[in-house]
Structures are given as C-alpha cells and as structure tokens.
C-alpha cells in the first residue's frame, strides 16, 4: 500500500469519492446524533447516568468491535458487497432506535446500528487506499477525514432542530434520506472488485477481536458504578483472556486476520495510537459538552447542537492544509500540530467552562478541538494505509476506523465514567454537608446522585426545594465535568509524547515506508500498488 512514484486515481474519481464520503457520512451522523438527545432520553426513561453513557457509547461499541473482522471479510468476499449491506442494514437499526420502548432496547439498537456501520465504514477507506495512489490518495484521505469529521460534528445541529419540533426518537431517523442517496451512488459508481485477496478468512480471530473490544469498552463503562464491581472485573478478565487468545491465534495461524508483524511496524502502531486519542478527544468533548450546555447553561437542544458548528468549520478548512503539511513536513509534525490544538481546546473547557460562561468560550474550545482533529486526522489515517500491503486494505482501514470508534468509545466511556463518578461524589458531599442531611432518605440520595436528569425530576416533585436541588446538581455536574476534562488533557499529553518520541521524522518515515514496500513485494504480501484494478 506504500505510495509509488506515479500518482493514480480511479475512473470517475470525483463521483467515486463522493459516494464513499456519503456512505461514511451515514455512519458519522448516526454516531453523533445521540449526544444532544441524551437529556431528553434521560427524562423520557428516567435513565441513570451509566445507561445514558451506554446509549452514547453503544454505536461506537458495535462499530469498534466489528471493524477488524468485517474489514477482513470485505478484503476476501468483496468490499462493495459489505458497503451495500451495511448501508442497507442501517435503516432497520435506525428505526428500532427511533421507536425503542425502553432505554435498554435503545442501547441494543445503537449497538446494532454500530454493527451495520462496521460493514460499510471500514470499506470506504479500504477502497480509497486501493483506488488512489500518491499525492491524490493523501488528498482523498484528507477530504474523507475532514468532511467525515465535519458531518459528525453537524449531527448535533440537526438533532437539536429535530428535538425542538419532534420527539427524541426523531434524531435517529435523520440519516434515512442520506442512506438512500448513498446506497444508490455506491451501487452506481463504486467499483465492484479492487485487489481483493483469496486467502481464507480467520473467523476464530474475528470472533476473538469482537469479544476483546466489546468487553474492554464495557468494563470501562461499568467501572464507576458502585454495584457493578463484580461485572466490571469479569468483563476485564474476559478482555484480557480474549486479547491473549487473539495474539496467540494471529501469531500461529497461516492466514491471520490481523497481521501482527505489519501492526508492529513503527509507522503503523504509533499512528494507530495517535489517532485513537485524537479522535477520542473529539467524541469526548461532544459527549460531555452537550450535557453541560443543556443541563448547566440551559441551552435549547438546537442551540446546543449549533454550538459545535465551529468544530465542523475548522475541520473542513484545516483538512486540505493538513494534506499539504503531510507532503511537506511529514506525518509527525502534522500530528503534533493537531495535538497542540486539541490540548488548547480541553484547557479552555477545564478553565473557562463554568456556569454562565459566554458563548465565545464554548465556540473557542470547539474550534480548537475541531482544528486539532482536522490537522491530526489525515496523517493518522495516511500513515496506517501507507505502511501495509494492498491485500491488507481491510486491516488498515479497520484500524483507521478503530481510531475513531474505539477512540470514541474508550474516551466517552472514560470521560463518562469520571463524569458520573465526579457528579455522584460531589452531590453526596453536598448532601452530607447540608444541615438537613439527616432528613434525606437513602432512596432520595440515590435519586439525587443517579444523574442530573434524575435530580431535575426530583426537583419538580418538591418545588419548595427545587432551586437548592438544581443548584447542587449543576455544581456537582461541573465537578464531574472537570474530572472528565482533566482525563482528556492527560490522554492528549500522553499521545503527544508517544508521537514526539516514537514517530519517525519525515526522512526516516519515507525510508521506512520504502523498506515496508520492499518487504511486502519480496514476501508476496499483496499486489503491487500499481496493479490493475477492475473498475466494473
């Protein structure tokens, strides 16, 4: 997959790229629409903060858990087939979420939607890396990354408008018209077969990859829940066992689903880790930020969604410049620039996002994070796809999708867990410090510390104490949010350190990519980059 000296683009390149971006847009929109609706969903079902976290994370969970396996299936049986199936299956998943009779059913629907996206989303980048070569590939990836991130950021704006006019479930059907357009264009313009492999698929490895990612994310999500310690430890243990079994399987099986020799390449694994953190910061910022704006600031759903527009604009504006920076200075420098912007965004959140803060601080934080993702997204995906053979396009694209989806799931789980734990701890302390603490029953304290929406519902039942309850809930939410922002800052600093010390500089990166290309050609690890492509 390393770039040859001759640039190449497919026939009808513009229409093919638009088709792939629209397919990715269906997944990106479905990923983002739930965050704005979380307060309304919490009120509708009296959901706990942990359940709301699961609704937000469910889609990322289904997608992250499946992309490696489904990417391998696409490499073997047809990427276009997986793409069409995934977009088609997103329709019933969206309808189930929209009309879910309970929050538990809604979690299941979100996971199912993520699984359907796992069929389509990894295929988009796999096809880009197989169809474009050289500088056109860098540009195509930049547009795919920037526009995909921007569409994801615009999801809350659409959701906010819908929530002002319709019920909470309307946010989950907003993508249906887009899915129809994407499906038609994919069928018409996307090539049917592009350098697909003939090796058998490692189904055992695929199942193990699903189990290890799913249990890891769930363990993180349930970790802060007081009565879920046993479940958390069980999930963590299963994740460890599944990881060990997966590694052994991939080392010993003749046709591994995930080639660990390729994954151990420095350009590959450092880019993978860097992308997980940077895309995770975007999802984490949107997840915590939407609840802050509605619960603490009192924004309407539409205003809360509109607040993210600066992030979308910055991603669109920055992505093409990111591609030029990669060509001129290499992936390392461009990644570090992205990390600097993300760090600045989270510092603004931690230091300035207090009750009553002006919109300028909200817009500034989102603009900084959006620019950071715009700068870092292109080199993270470009380095992955440039360091693997063409027969491993599904592996590279699956890993690139894991950057967004596993990163989003992990960061949302961690930030959501800290938000829930910080909120509950602060509210419990406020109750203990109150002169009337002896009058607060155990059930009342449980309701107050359960979530902001639960405290709000209790305030409505006791109007004499409503102001005090609401003020305490807002203060406790801010304490929990500060825990989340601090964790985001730590993650960003850790990622920046990994990139700074371990990612090769431009000359070394080009040398390593040339070595990888030579190794792959010598071992017959895939067709050469300039191999003919069937366009039909």
Mean of the per-residue pLDDT values of the chain: 80
The pLDDT value given to residue 528: 38
Q: What does the alpha-carbon distance between residue 266 and residue 504 come to, in Å, rounded to a whole number?
A: 8
The pLDDT value given to residue 17: 87
| pLDDT band of 394, cuts 50, 70, 90 | low
| pLDDT band of 350, cuts 50, 70, 90 | very high
The pLDDT value given to residue 3: 44
The pLDDT value given to residue 437: 62
| pLDDT band of 193, cuts 50, 70, 90 | low
* SS3 of 38-92: HHHHHHHHCCCHHHHHHHHHHHHHHHHHHHHHHHHHHHHHCHHHHHHHHHHHHHH
Q: What does the alpha-carbon distance between residue 392 and residue 303 come to, in Å, rounded to a whole number?
A: 43
Q: How many CB atoms lie within 10 A of CB 103?
A: 18
* pLDDT tens by residue, 477-519: 888 888 888 988 999 999 999 999 988 888 887 787 777 777 7
* pLDDT tens by residue, 23-66: 888 887 877 777 778 878 888 888 876 788 788 778 878 887 88
pLDDT (mean) for 287-301? 84
Q: What does the alpha-carbon distance between residue 262 and residue 536 come to, in Å, rounded to a whole number?
A: 30
The pLDDT value given to residue 534: 35
3-state secondary structure of 311: helix
The pLDDT value given to residue 24: 83
| pLDDT band of 2, cuts 50, 70, 90 | very low
The pLDDT value given to residue 440: 64
Q: What does the alpha-carbon distance between residue 160 and residue 499 come to, in Å, rounded to a whole number?
A: 37
Write the burial class of residue 264 (CB in 10 Å: 0-12 exposed, 13-18 middle, 19+ buried). exposed
What's the predicted TM-score (pTM) here? 0.72
Lowest mean pLDDT among 100-109, 216-225, 305-314: 216-225
Please, are residues 246 and 212 in contact by the beta-carbon 8 Å criterion? Answer: yes
| pLDDT band of 235, cuts 50, 70, 90 | very high
The pLDDT value given to residue 529: 37
* pLDDT tens by residue, 437-455: 666 667 777 767 776 767 7
User: Both tokens of residue 43?
Assistant: 């009120």
The pLDDT value given to residue 115: 87
pLDDT (mean) for 291-320? 83
∠ CA 419-168-465, nearest 5°, is 55
3-state secondary structure of 441: coil
User: Both tokens of residue 409?
Assistant: 């799931």
Q: What does the alpha-carbon distance between residue 497 and residue 490 come to, in Å, rounded to a whole number?
A: 11
DSSP codes of every residue in 358-384 = -HHHHHHHHHHHHHHHHHHHHHHHHHH
Write the burial class of residue 239 (CB in 10 Å: 0-12 exposed, 13-18 middle, 19+ buried). buried
Beta bridge partners of 133: 8
Q: State yes or no: pLDDT of 138 exceeds 80.
A: no
Q: What does the alpha-carbon distance between residue 528 and residue 441 come to, in Å, rounded to a whole number?
A: 70
Q: How many CB atoms lie within 10 A of CB 193?
A: 14
Please, are residues 281 and 411 in contact by the beta-carbon 8 Å criterion? Answer: yes
């Amino acid at each position: 997959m390393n770039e040859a000296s001759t640039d190449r683009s497919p026939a009808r390149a513009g229409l093919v790229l638009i088709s792939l971006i629209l397919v990715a847009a269906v997944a990106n929109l479905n990923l983002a629409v739930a965050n704005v609706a979380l307060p309304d969903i919490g009120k509708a079902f009296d959901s706990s903060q942990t359940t709301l976290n699961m609704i937000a994370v469910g889609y990322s969970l289904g997608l992250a858990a499946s992309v490696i396996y489904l990417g391998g299936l696409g490499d073997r049986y047809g990427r276009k087939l997986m793409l069409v199936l995934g977009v088609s299956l997103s329709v019933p998943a969206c309808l189930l979420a929209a009309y879910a009779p309970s929050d538990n059913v809604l979690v299941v629907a979100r996971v199912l939607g993520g699984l359907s996206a796992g069929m389509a989303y990894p295929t988009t980048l796999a096809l880009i890396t197989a169809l474009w070569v050289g500088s056109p590939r860098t540009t195509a990836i930049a547009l795919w990354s920037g526009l995909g991130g921007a569409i994801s950021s615009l999801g809350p704006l659409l959701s906010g408008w819908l929530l002002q006019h319709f019920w909470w479930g309307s946010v989950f059907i907003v993508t249906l018209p887009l899915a129809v357009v994407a499906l038609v264009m994919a069928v018409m313009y996307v090539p049917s077969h592009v350098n697909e492999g003939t090796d058998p698929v490692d189904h055992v490895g695929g199942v193990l990859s699903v189990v290890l990612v799913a249990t890891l994310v769930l363990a993180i999500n349930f970790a802060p829940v007081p009565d879920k310690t046993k479940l958390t430890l069980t999930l963590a243990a299963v994740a460890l066992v599944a990881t060990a079994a997966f590694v052994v399987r991939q080392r010993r099986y003749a046709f591994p689903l995930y080639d660990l020799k390729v994954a151990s390449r420095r350009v590959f694994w450092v880019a993978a880790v860097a992308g997980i953190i940077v895309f995770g910061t975007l999802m984490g910022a949107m997840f915590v930020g939407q609840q802050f704006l509605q619960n603490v600031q009192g924004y309407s759903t539409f205003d809360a969604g509109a607040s993210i527009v600066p992030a979308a604009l910055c991603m669109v504006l920055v992505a093409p410049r990111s591609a030029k920076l990669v060509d001129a200075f290499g992936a390392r420098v461009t990644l570090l620039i992205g990390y600097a912007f993300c760090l600045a965004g989270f510092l603004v959140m931690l230091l300035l996002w207090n009750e009553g803060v002006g919109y300028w601080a909200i817009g500034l934080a989102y603009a900084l994070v959006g620019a950071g993702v715009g700068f870092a997204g292109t080199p993270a995906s470009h380095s992955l796809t440039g360091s693997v053979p063409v027969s491993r396009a599904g592996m590279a694209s699956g890993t690139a999708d894991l950057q967004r989806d596993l990163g989003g799931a992990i960061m949302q789980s961690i930030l959501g867990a800290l938000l829930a734990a910080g909120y509950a701890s602060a509210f419990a302390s406020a109750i203990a410090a109150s002169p009337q603490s002896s009058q607060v029953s155990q059930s009342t304290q449980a309701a107050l510390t359960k979530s902001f929406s639960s405290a709000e519902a209790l305030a409505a039942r006791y109007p004499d104490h409503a102001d005090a309850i609401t003020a305490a809930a807002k203060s406790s939410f801010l304490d929990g949010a500060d825990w989340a922002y601090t964790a985001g800052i730590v993650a960003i600093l850790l990622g920046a350190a990994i990139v700074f010390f371990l990612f090769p500089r431009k000359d070394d990166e080009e040398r390593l990519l040339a070595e990888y290309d030579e190794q792959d050609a010598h071992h017959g690890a895939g067709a050469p980059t300039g191999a003919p492509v069937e366009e039909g």
